[in-house]
Copies of this chain bind each other. A is one copy, B any other.
């Protein structure tokens, strides 16, 4: 089937966050079969934080991700299973295991400034004969020049595609436009975009990315992803059809699957709440929300002011102790 855009459905990985990592094998089989029948090219399956993410820190999976990956592989006639891995969270051991079970694509994800960390795992992916993706997370936190440098690093490490990942759902359309354009003009490999809807801009940003030459696009069916969810896959397919851009995916089958996801998987519909909005508006990690709420209570300041200040200071994951400092400073400033 002719395709202009190659879709990766991420609900069975990113959506893991939205349901506290409680995917069952039956759910994964049902969703994967339907995606395969709808002709979705790639289906990502893993813990929300990638291979090996099941832990006290990131949240335990109720079903072992390897069991889910195996079930997904067995459910597919044509779709390929992708796995996400964050080096340090996952290891070569899990990647080898996922490959052995039949995963055909590895997406190696790093913070947008740490692309060099992906080198080993991209190389292993190539060695195993997998398709490889470099996945630059929290991409809004750096200038477009820095982003290009890191994208080139991913390319030189063997990534077949490099994604701009708007983890916090913080990008505005003109920011996506200039970044995709810059990468498109300077890289030989496929350019991808992964959006989140925290500012109600996932679809807008995705269309801009496509206009500028991105050909690899992520979506989650029924917005089953972290925060306010991702670009809603079935809606994107409909919009692209209206624009005569081919995805090769069956729209009606995806709509039927969306109804199944709403009825049988989502605990509550995905919408833009105070929390998910603030992630996008402040441009911070989702893990900061809970910490900011606690610190706000302790110092009697507005948690939103804390998040905005953390965004301004470009605080990254692992620096959670900064949250109390910021709250304390805000309290003194009053």
Partner-B contacts on A (CB < 8 A): 172-173, 197, 199-204, 207, 222-223, 231-232, 234-236, 238-239, 242-243, 252, 255, 258-259, 262, 268-274, 277-278, 280-281, 302, 304
Contacts and interface: CB of A to CB of B under 8 A. Distances in A.
B172 A239 contact: yes
A200 B196 CA distance: 12
Contact of A235 (B222, B242, B269, B277): B277
23 contacts: A172-B243, A197-B200, A199-B203, A199-B235, A199-B242, A200-B231, A200-B232, A200-B236, A200-B239, A203-B204, A204-B207, A222-B271, A234-B277, A235-B277, A242-B281, A255-B277, A255-B304, A258-B273, A258-B274, A259-B274, A269-B270, A269-B271, A270-B271
Contacts of A281: 238, 242
Given A200-B203, A255-B274, A269-B269, 9 more contacts: A173-B204, A200-B235, A201-B239, A203-B204, A223-B271, A238-B277, A252-B302, A255-B278, A258-B273
Contacts of A242: 172, 199, 281
Q: How many copies does the complex hold?
A: 2
- Most chain B CB within 10 A, of A271, A274, A302, is at A271
A232 B269 contact: no
Interchain residue pairs A-B with the least CB separation, the first 4: A204-B204, A200-B203, A269-B269, A269-B271
A173 B242 CA distance: 12
A242 B199 CA distance: 11
